Amino acid sequence: KDLPESCGGTFKTKILMPMADVTKEDVLDSLPPQFEGGKKTIESVCLTARDVMLNQVHSLFDEKDEDGKELMVQYLKASL
């Protein structure tokens, strides 16, 4: 009998299978240095934030809209 909470996949397919792709390096990269082997630093957090922001800018504007991207970058610089 199907349970309502299992609609769309099982615990194995929704939780465990994606976790199988996680490596020890992934875990260490996400842990702060207070944990043994932890590599997460303020620099790595800032680089991730930068990459996310740049990806958003690129997704908001057409590939050839350099003026629009430049205006967005100027706005973001001024607001930071």
- DSSP state at residue 12: I
Q: What is the pTM of this model?
A: 0.55
Q: What percentage of the chain has pLDDT greater than the value 90?
A: 24
Mean pLDDT of the chain: 83
Alpha helices (runs of H) in the chain, residue ranges in sequence order:
11, 17-20, 24-30, 42-60, 66-79
Residue 8: predicted pLDDT = 61
Render pLDDT for 9-43 as a digit per residue (tens, 0 to 9): 677 777 777 777 888 888 888 888 898 998 899 99
Residue 15: predicted pLDDT = 73
